[in-house]
Chains A and B, each alone.
Chain A
Amino acid sequence: MKPARFDYIRAADLAEAHDALAEYGNDARVIAGGQTLMPMLSMRLVRPKVVVDIMHLPALRGIEAGGNGIRIGAGVRQAELLAWPGLAEHLPLLNAALPWVGHAQTRSRGTVCGSAAHADPSAEIPLCLLALGATIELSSRRGRRRVPAADFFTGMMTTARAENELIEAVHIPGKQAGSGCAFKEFGRRHGDFAIVACAAIVTAASVRLAVGGVADKPVLRDFAIDDGKPLDEALDAFAWALDARDDLHATGRYRRELVRQMGRDTIEEARRCHA
């Protein structure tokens, strides 16, 4: 299990990274922490002509909290975000979910944006970005745009990123005053990818549940609070709408049951935080 040959470009500034992506497009792969790209390279699931290292760009290394939320640069490692002093206050959902991302030994190098780029349907970070209404900041030689997470994750390990674009950061709205959130996950072992993961955000006016590991991408549902229907019925309809399939790890039926039960537990825990 060794990667096929590639050129390695250590970008010294953003323009160099953009130039490499413009020149090579889909034959280029960006490496940051490498915790998802390296297995793909070693198993030769990807065989890029060039690998572009963006970890030497100081501009991508920051976590900035401002009036419009928190900007997490593409070079920010998962462990750095977990150690960020503002995490529990501003991003309580990620504070709850990040310990479930891989292991301490992979969070030490893996980046937040790298997980978004990889877009594994079971991964915790894309799920949280969707639940929180985050936007993904993409840049290229031709300009810059921001894509809502709901439009960014388009399917199994596929995203709306064009082949000449670099994920430069994710922007996450800060915690809404008076909201509560919770995260739960079921997997065979801690550190495995989730069989089902749930993220809930509850306010006085809304109940939101996002589910990962079931469909080919994380899926979000906002439940109306006062439509007269019990939550269980709404969760059941959501569970069926996810179109769960059988695979090696669990049956579709089992996944639906997890969505019903764990979804309810997650919402109730978020309500308790909210209260």
Chain B
Amino acid sequence: MPRLTAGERHTVRFTLNGRAVEAQAEPRMLLTDFLRHELGATGTHVGCEHGVCGACTVEIDGVPARSCLTLAVQTDGASIRTVEGLAPEPGRLSVLQEAFRRHHALQCGFCTAGILMSLDNYLRRQPNPSEHELREFLGGHICRCTGYVPIVAAAMDAARRLRESPSDV
């Protein structure tokens, strides 16, 4: 039986934004800390660390999930996407990111990485959301700057643009 001993560091391997990565983690290490401190992927932010605020949301095996409610060792072999994986190429933002910029959908930016990961996943599954559905989905995140209105506007705008030119990302 694979048993990882407390206090020792064990190799965890997974795919991060399409690239195979590996690093060492104690069994108790959260995926947030593994991403940030071991892999240097500091785009994922750490807010409440108990699953309430949504800042640390990443995509695990194709679904949005809280990385603070996940142990790094649980994700061995998984496929993980973080905010670093959204931009299609260096110097160009994704359609959703660009819409966030256009609509001023962020101020301090602390919650933004998590919200982008949730909405990116959501808009791929639901290309034509109603504002009500979108707000319900956004309910899994807390933003203390914007009042959410520009975030909703950015997401609806991004959804429209993605419907008009589906080949864009």
Contact = CB atoms under 8 A, between A and B. Distances in A.
Contact of A6 (B6, B51, B68, B141): B6
A104 B64 contact: yes
Interface stretch (A7-15, A131-139, A141-149, A256-264): A7-15
A105 interface: yes
B71 A34 contact: yes
Contacts of B123: none
Interface string B109-139: 0000000001000100000000000001101
Interface string A69-96: 0000000000100000000000000000
B44 interface: no
Interface of A: 1-12, 16, 31, 34-35, 38-39, 41-43, 49, 51, 53, 55, 79, 102-106, 108-109, 189-191
A108 B70 contact: no
Contacts of B122: 104
Contacts of A1: 49-50
16 contacts: A2-B33, A5-B26, A8-B71, A9-B2, A9-B3, A12-B1, A12-B2, A34-B69, A38-B69, A38-B70, A43-B50, A104-B140, A105-B66, A105-B118, A109-B66, A109-B69
B6 A5 contact: yes
A209 B122 CA distance: 35
Which of A4, A41, A43 has the most chain B CB atoms closer than 10 A to its own CB? A41
Contact of A55 (B27, B51, B74): B74
A42 B33 CA distance: 13
A105 B26 CA distance: 25
Given A2-B28, A105-B57, A31 B74 contact: yes
Interface of B: 1-7, 26-28, 30, 33, 49-51, 54, 57, 60, 63-66, 68-71, 73-74, 118, 122, 136-137, 139-141
Contacts of A79: 63
A123 B14 CA distance: 33
Given A7-B3, A109-B70, 18 more contacts: A3-B30, A7-B6, A9-B1, A9-B4, A12-B1, A16-B1, A38-B50, A38-B68, A42-B49, A49-B6, A104-B137, A104-B140, A105-B66, A106-B65, A106-B140, A108-B60, A108-B63, A190-B136
A106 B28 contact: no
A39 B68 CA distance: 9
Given A39-B50, A104-B140, A105-B118, A34 B64 contact: no
B76 to A, nearest CB: 8
B65 A108 contact: yes
A6 B27 contact: yes
Contacts of B63: 79, 108-109
B69 A35 contact: yes
Contacts of B26: 5
Contacts of B54: 103, 105
Nearest to A9: B3
A13 to B, nearest CB: 9
Contact of A5 (B28, B33, B64, B70): B28
Contacts of B69: 34-35, 38-39, 106, 109
